Chain A
Amino acid sequence: MVDKKIKLGIPKGSLQDYTIKIFKMAGFDIEVPERGYFLKIDDPEIDCFLLRPQEIPKYIEKGKLDLGISGDDWILETKAKVIEVCDLKYAKQEIKRVKWVLAVPEDSKIKSVKDLKGKTISTEAINLVKDYLRKNKVKAKVEFSWGTTEVKPPRFADAIVDITETGASLRAHNLKVIGTILVSSTKLITNKFAWQDEWKKEKINHLAILLQGAVRGEEVVNLMMHVPEEKLKRILKVLPRLKSPTIKKLTGINWYDVESSCKEKETRVLIPKLKKMGCKGIIEYPLIKLVP
């Protein structure tokens, strides 16, 4: 009998909190014990494992895991053959988006990737860098770094390829960015064995709908406001077309209650605008899932 269970890999480290949060919004509670790596999830059809995101793609390729979450940086780096079910990109994060960049000392003569010929590059993602160099037809030495890569130039390396969020840490080490190699996104991945199993495929697809709904719910908020009848037309034109607005007439007066959704970031511009146009009692509240 086929075991009706999905083996799921949850990434440990920087993606961990976000992953557990979207699972929670998708309706799954994951409990992380203080020690140990066997996570508890409140779905008897799923077994959870906490693993480094670098390892998850390979375990999925080999069939040790059916499903997992990892960054496409590590999927590319490990060259694992996996099936991408969907993107779980955290679109809300603009500043903190994970970028792999090429950086050199401020006073370095290296101005672009072409100047790297014969130089030494230190990185945690060797394959990513090798592919990047090959694409740019540059021959250079790529050395694996166990961490704290930004302290290596200029003594131990001429350049580095490292993850950065705001670039502040690079600046603090007198490094400047001369190229972006990859802007990484978060992916839900599976393998061909699980994909051929009808039960698993359906389970994974359902999970993907809920997780994507949660990711969208994260970036979208609901707005509710009171609008006088004579301004209704103009206000409706201003509202984003994410979903058609719900309009209800208020009992006894010539005012309407308008409810609509918009991207969280748009509220910055939209709320002051709506207020100026004459809307009253504007409230914004969070959504948990949005499934269009």
Chain B
Amino acid sequence: MKNKKQIKFGFPGREWQSQTIKLFKAANYEVKLEETLYHLEINDPEIQCVLARTEEIASSVEEGILDAGITQKIHLLNQKVKVVEVAELNYGNDVWWNTKLVLAIPKNSKIKSVKDLKGKKVLARVLEIAKDYFKKHGVKAEIEWSDRPTEPKCPAFCDAIVEFTNTGNALRAHNLKILDFLMETSPVLIANKKTWQNKWKKEKIENLAMLLKGARLGLEYSGLMLHASNEMMEDVLKVLPSLKKPTVTHLRGENWFDVLTVANKKEIRKIIPKLKKIGCTDIIEFSLNKVVI
């Protein structure tokens, strides 16, 4: 075979597809999706992408049908899959935060706690996790697996659902409310254990993970540049976050320094006014593509 050096990579379809595409683009990959043909391609001939559901990616990577892929942490637990977990990537469906698994019931339901679900019917997206949860609470309920979406099926087909939520919009749209929070799940880049023995493949996957994680951080962080005098430096360094060692260089011929660092965008809201108060000048914030600490 001509191109042996290639990894088969499970790319999440459906719920986490659009955000995964955004992350690959942020990592400088060109992504071409032909939605109706279920075909996805990236501009790296060494990575062959296969669009699949995250549940399938977890089991296919374990079996070695795929070398690596992005699945959900929760599926590894639910399906008791044994793979190498390379990196957690922290995003949800169309949002940059993790998805939550919740137990939800109709707004006007008489059910007040999980105990009231005894003998009731529950539809769950991840069956084993849901069963464990009910077992932990000592509640015997009729729990059945259901495909997405479960929201419109409650209360018509069931009394409660165990479903993923990102913004809560779908739950609200179907007049449902959250009764309990089960767990949070993050997309995780996984690799097959045998694949991990292959030096070339391991390095290829590790590098991809580094770039995706770097891009993920780049979305959350900004660069910050400022001028501070010698007397201010001690206070400035206290205010700056410690993720990256700040770059401090002496300005030519003066008692002033140029300081450059990166910080979480949310922290920067608080940092900039503080720096201004200390007396820093020429504060510049700039956007980043990637941060690799």
Contact = CB atoms under 8 A, between A and B. Distances in A.
Interface in A262-292: 264-265, 267-269, 271-272, 275, 280-286
Interface stretch (B7-15, B50-58, B124-132, B284-292): B284-292
Given A96-B32, A168-B39, A268-B207, A251 B290 contact: no
Contacts of A257: 247, 249, 260
Nearest to B289: A284
Contacts of A111: none
Contacts of A249: 249
A94 interface: yes
Interface in A216-254: 221, 224, 226, 248-252
Interface string B222-244: 01000000000000000000001
B30 A93 contact: yes
A275 B257 CA distance: 27
A2 interface: no
B173 interface: no
B147 interface: no
A166 B292 contact: no
Interface string A79-112: 0000000000000111110000000000000000
A143 interface: no
A172 interface: yes
Contacts of B250: 251
Contacts of B27: 268
A92 B248 CA distance: 34
Contacts of B211: 267-268, 271-272
B34 A92 contact: no
Interface string B17-51: 00000000001101010100101011110000000
Contacts, number: 104
A281 B217 CA distance: 12
A284 B34 contact: no
B187 interface: no
A285 B30 contact: no
Interface in A55-71: none
A47 interface: no
A77 interface: no
Nearest to B206: A272
Contact of A95 (B37, B41, B223, B293): B41
Interface residues of B, number: 36
B32 A224 contact: no
Interface in B261-293: 262, 286-293
Contacts of A283: 218, 223, 244, 262, 288, 290-292
B140 interface: no
Contact of B37 (A168, A271, A275): A168
A281 B293 contact: yes
Given A166-B41, A172-B37, A268-B211, A92 B249 contact: no
Interface string B196-221: 00000001001100110010001000
A180 interface: no
Contact of B34 (A166, A224, A281): A166
Nearest to B290: A284
A94 B30 contact: yes
A205 interface: no
Given A168-B39, A275-B210, A250 B30 contact: no
B245 interface: yes
Given A272-B210, A283-B290, A96 B30 contact: yes
Nearest to A221: B289
Contacts of B37: 168-169, 172
Nearest to A273: B207
A268 B203 CA distance: 12
A151 to B, nearest CB: 15
Contacts of A268: 27-28, 44, 207, 211
Interface of A: 92-96, 165-166, 168-169, 172, 221, 224, 226, 248-252, 257, 264-265, 267-269, 271-272, 275, 280-286
11 contacts: A94-B43, A169-B34, A224-B247, A265-B43, A271-B292, A272-B206, A282-B293, A283-B218, A283-B262, A283-B290, A284-B291
Interface of B: 27-28, 30, 32, 34, 37, 39, 41-44, 203, 206-207, 210-211, 214, 218, 223, 244-245, 247-250, 257, 260, 262, 286-293
Given A166-B39, A267-B211, 6 more contacts: A95-B41, A168-B39, A169-B34, A257-B249, A280-B293, A282-B214
